[in-house]
A and B are shown apart, each in its own frame.
Chain A
Amino acid sequence: MKDLFKRRETSLFVIILILAAAVGFRAHDFVTPGNFLFIFKDSSILFVVSIGQFLVILTGGIDLSVASIMGFTGMSVALLDKVNPNMPLVVIILAAMAIGFVLGSFNGLLVSALNIPPIIATLGTLSIYRGFVIVLSGGTWVSADQMAAPFRDFPQASFLGLSNMICIAIVVFAVFAVFLHLTRKGRDIYGIGGNMLASQYVGIDVKKTNFMVFALSGILSGLAGYLWVAFYASAANDSAAGLELQTVAACVVGGVSILGGYGTIAGVLLGSIFIGVVKNALSMIRISPFWQVAIQGFVILLAIVLNTVLDRRAQASMLKRRVL
């Protein structure tokens, strides 16, 4: 079992390398350190949100509202910064995470307390939260020159020679790797996705855990919402719209089972980088950006079908081994 996981991630890593080499052959600008840095920065936003999506998918749910949460928190903190330019950045980032937590908790309540299927609940909040963005902004946007310098420069700055965006991705990776693998709560998440009924019988609080994953997804989306607005230096009404599908793609490409219970944080990281490389490569070899959505859909479908087929084969071979 462990070998299969390992093979999945190494093969994805090799695929990314081959893809990068092939694109680099066509467009020499692609293989510059500057461009790779841009890809990693760009992917780190996707990675942060995808971790939230990953936690929800692990329990067997899905969170379609992540991009709307990002849009709303991004707009909120941009307006907050516009009104109080002297507000410390730490407060802004904490505010983004707090707003994300509130919106994520609402999803969590709908799913855990009211038994609404996650797909339906978050399909509803996807449009509710996006509607809130328009109400909040009154249809206008916040542009770069209306943002305070520290707010706008944070994603471009670096810490100990490493870009802040990449630092944040590393911290998120480390925190959630520890959480998922070394804490009881983290193992509960895998348990629920693997077999909900069995988890309930061994005493895992399924409702509480369901609530928790949505709240965490909200917090991470809130953080990513700030990063998005600061990185692209504008808070528009449709910022990050459609990103929810990219997070699902990053997860399934990374080998996370859409049924829950199965997947690794390293897989999600590689999945996010894969999406980032594809996105960047398209513009580098001058393929129309209109291809992006179609390719994304194709990649999602292919990854899901492959995951299902491979999982089944792995299970079959395990059974065979046991019989012999």
Chain B
Amino acid sequence: MTGQKSGTETSARAGTSRDGASRTRAHSLRNLATQWEMLLVYLLVAVFLVNSFISPYFLNAPNLLDSTFNFMEKAIMALPMMLVIICGDIDISVASNLALTSVFMGMASAAGAHTPVLILVGLVVGSALGWFNGMLITRFAIPSIAVTIGTLSLYRGIASVILGDGAYTVYPRSFAYFGQGYIPGTHVPFELVLFAVLAAGTGFLLHKTSFGRRVYAIGNNQTTTRFSGVNVDRYRLIAFTLNGLAAGIASILLTSRVGSTRPNIATGWELDVITTVVLGGVAITGGRGKIWGVALGVFLLGFLQFGMGLVNIPGQVMNIADGFILIIAIMAPELIRRGRAKASLSARRAAKAP
């Protein structure tokens, strides 16, 4: 829905603006993007300073590395969510997907499966649930928000039907490595390295391949892209399946880290994942965003929440902050853009006047 709407808006605007004007607009948008990423860097530095002011233990390498355990699962989910949002779609079922995938891994583990099988279960179930979202969305041409509201409830519901108020707590010892382990001989968490590798992969896919260019094209104008011969629905289906795969990976990491599965695992995480992506400068209407921004967004939000934990802000209150961060992150570029449009308009008027 959002995709199509933004599509018509862009085309309507492009129709009225002349060549030169659209070139300057593109230029100022690029400017805005780099400025946004610089702003994120400044904010990240500020958060670091505040955190180390609050706690003398914050700014030392092992503690910093350990604190990333708290947000690497969300960070990994943010990567393909970026693809989904750039396509102009959204997926709010990711946290429920994570929970259901974790339940399936718990069942497999209870049946005596070993670590490699558990990993396979996690990857396959996660991808399958993401694929199911994508199928409903593309096959029936239903807006992604509507479908994923349904599966948000369905996946979480199936998880609680299977588990009731029970929990799976028995996992093989070797399974604990993925969420708790370090790269041998260093103090670098496995989760952090995995995120770095996946982020590099996502960046390559988005910025260096024709696949990535087409994803941006779909987000900018779905109709034009379809008429240019791109199988739009296939790309969207791939984006949703990858999103499910990432939820599966996150499920493996989180289940391994906490060592148990309850049906309410990761409740509300969709908010954090979407906030990370939007904070990273990805336009919620699709078509715009860079991997660097999202990577910065991951660490900014992660360390911000870690800092709030340092001063003992309770989780529910932290949600207030998260909600505001999401809204401000969406609002800020829009306001900046408006301010610029006004400034450039008055500049042009001044230039015209003799």
Contacts and interface: CB of A to CB of B under 8 A. Distances in A.
B322 A121 contact: no
Contacts, number: 140
Interface of A is mostly: helix
Interface stretch (B24-32, B51-59, B176-184, B325-333): B325-333
A233 B157 CA distance: 27
Contact of B154 (A134, A298, A308, A309): A298
Contact of B143 (A114, A123, A130, A259): A259
Chain B, interface size category, equals 35 or more
A245 interface: yes
A308 B157 contact: no
A117 B146 contact: no
Contact of B327 (A116, A237, A252, A295): A116
Interface string B143-166: 101110111111111101101110
B284 interface: yes
Interface in A253-301: 258-259, 288, 290-298, 300-301
Contacts of B232: none
B339 to A, nearest CB: 13
A248 B149 contact: yes
B271 to A, nearest CB: 6
- For B2, B140, B274, B284, the residue with the greatest tally of chain A CB atoms inside 10 Å of its CB is B140
A86 interface: no
B160 A290 contact: yes
Interface of B is mostly: helix
Contacts of A304: 142, 146-147, 150
B141 interface: yes
A125 B320 CA distance: 8
A304 B1 CA distance: 14
A120 interface: yes
Contacts of A88: none
Contacts of A128: 319-320, 323-324
B283 to A, nearest CB: 11
A298 B157 CA distance: 9
B239 interface: no
A58 interface: no
A205 B331 CA distance: 22
A10 interface: no
A119 interface: yes
B66 interface: no
B285 interface: yes
A309 B268 CA distance: 31
A37 interface: no
A20 B140 CA distance: 31
- For A60, A117, A120, A139, the residue with the greatest tally of chain B CB atoms inside 10 Å of its CB is A120
Contact of A308 (B141, B151, B165, B330): B141
Interface in A146-177: none
Given A115-B334, A131-B320, A304-B147, A124 B326 contact: yes
Nearest to A134: B316
Contacts of A87: none
Interface of B: 1-2, 8, 90, 92, 136, 140-143, 145-147, 149-158, 160-161, 163-165, 263, 268, 270-271, 274, 278, 284-285, 314, 316-320, 322-324, 326-327, 330-331, 334-335
9 contacts: A130-B319, A245-B152, A248-B149, A290-B164, A294-B153, A300-B154, A301-B136, A305-B136, A309-B140
Interface of A: 60, 62, 110, 114-117, 119-121, 123-128, 130-132, 134-135, 139, 197, 237, 245, 248-249, 252, 258-259, 288, 290-298, 300-301, 304-305, 308-309
Q: Which 4 A-B pairs have the closest CB atoms?
A: A294-B157, A297-B154, A297-B153, A293-B157
